[in-house]
Structure 1
Amino acid sequence: MTAIPFRIVGFDLDGTLVDSALDLAPAVNHALRAAGRPEVSLETTRSLIGGGARRMLERALDVTGGAVEPAHFEDLHERLLEHYTANIAANTVPYPGCLDALDALATHDVQLAVVTNKAEDLARLLLGELGLTHRFASIMGGDTLGRERAKPAPDMIHETVARLGGGPFAMVGDSTFDVLAAKNAGVPVVGLSFGYHDVPPHELGADFLIDHFDDLMEALRRLGARPA
């Protein structure tokens, strides 16, 4: 087998490793009902995801009538989190081919990491419920270093590399948060044509764009073969 030219591969979580919209959408609608707002569809929820729960709720309020007073927002945010935490893995599943790709990377002694804007405690809870925690040498959430240092800032990537002892790193994600974080950190990034996009996939600016996790290994090999 041809070696993978990266010592560490970092993955976004929602919309990259797992399809979590089926559990996020009911939590969003729970908060919207409390605000007296209309519910949003599953597809609309997919377009709201990215940047963490607070940003997702802000977007949901924007598309259903606009912002609310700060104190009301905090109450709605708590309601969303309570509902989501209680149902975090009711319907969420890894994307097709995801587990096989993680297994394949592990056989090449690649260290795997989660680099998500989801709160770290929720990320760990979700990965634990899905039986995936043991696959990752590092798990960082959007609040691990403080929200001002979450993606698209490069800090979480730099910290992940430092925690895992250094070496070549590649990022895998579905949104501009992931692509910009990678570019800001000076590392390559594989984008996904599936997932939760804040812009059309071909506009993400990723170094490679793949349609299925079956294509990840080859993308990483090709990415590593490109001149610096």
Structure 2
Amino acid sequence: MTDFPFAIVGFDLDGTLLDTSADLAAAVNHTLDGAGCPRLAIDRVKAHIGGGARRMLALSFAEAGHDEAGLDALYDRMLAFYADNIAVETRAFDGCLAALDTLARRGARIAIVTNKAEHLARKLLDTLGISSRFACVIGGDTLGPGNAKPSPAPIHEMIARCGGGRAAFVGDSIYDITAGRAAGVPTIAVSFGFLDRPVADLGADAVIDSYADLVPTLERLG
């Protein structure tokens, strides 16, 4: 079918396509354990996800009462644990894969732009067996320092790698919506993501409460 209004639909990964909160919290708490700090509940770690793993760890350590001394070594410890336990409890959000199937049938190219390191994003997708669904995967480190979301650079790169055309972007954080708006593409926020503020405050062009709403919302925005 060729009547779909968007040639490209991009997605954030953590908190948008996948519920990675349990595995990310396990990695953070493993690191807090090693530093002698109290553990954080999953919901508290979720509030720190979105700006990259280092920011997530720094905010989690601050909340646990630890300063940033030795954070580099602790960051490496967290990443190593996460890489070894990347998909223990991670799952796609309800209806996500069906929505991706519908987009593919409608002729849209599907992409990921995440602030997770590219090699970890690819390992996660490979482990879950869903890598082939995506035309490109752009991580927080793919374009070098200063070019992760909220910069529009990875959105522009997504469009270029997907061969050009009208694009939309779906995310759950201010980084996602800011990047999409700066790139000049319509944005959709998911209300079920890892929100650090009310979803209405993200400034997206539309909000969806489930993946059943995604394709109709894209059609309306188009």
Aligned residue in 2 for 1:19:
19
In the TM superposition, residue 183 of structure 1 has moved relative to its aligned partner by 0.8
Q: Which moved more, 1:11-20 or 1:59-68?
A: 59-68
Alpha-carbon separation, structure 2, partners of 1:115 and 1:67: 30
**Normalising by structure 1, what TM-score?**
0.95
Q: Which amino acid aligns with 1:184?
A: A
Task: Determine the C-alpha separation between the residues in 2 that align with 1:88 and 1:74.
Answer: 20
- Give the unaligned 5+ runs of structure 1: none
Aligned-partner SS, 2:188: strand
The residue number in structure 2 matching 1:78 is 76
Partner Cα separation in structure 2 for residue 157 and residue 68 of structure 1: 31
| Amino-acid identity (%) | 52
Q: What residue number does 2:9 align with?
A: 9
Question: In structure 2, what is the equivalent of residue 42 of structure 1?
Answer: 42
For 2:215, the equivalent position in structure 1 comes to: 217
- Taking structure 2 as the reference length, the TM-score comes to 0.98
Whole-angstrom distance in 1 between the partners of 2:154 and 2:146: 11
CA distance in 2, matches of 1:122, 1:47: 20
Offset from partner CA, 1:130-177 (integer Å, 9 cap, x none): 111000001000000013100000000001111111100000000000
Superposed displacement of residue 66, structure 1: 4.2
Residues 3 and 221 in structure 1, CA contact (< 8 A), matched pair in contact too? no
**1:120 paired residue number:** 118
Aligned-partner Cα distance in 2 for 1:32–1:39:
6
Question: Does the aligned pair in 1 maintain the 2:58–2:68 contact within 8 Å?
Answer: no
CA contact (8 A) 2:28 2:57 kept: yes
Question: Aligned with 1:148: secondary structure?
Answer: coil
User: What count of residue pairs does the alignment treat as equivalent?
Assistant: 222
State the Cα distance separating 1:4 from its structure 2 match. 2.1
Contact 1:4 1:217 in 2 (8 A): no
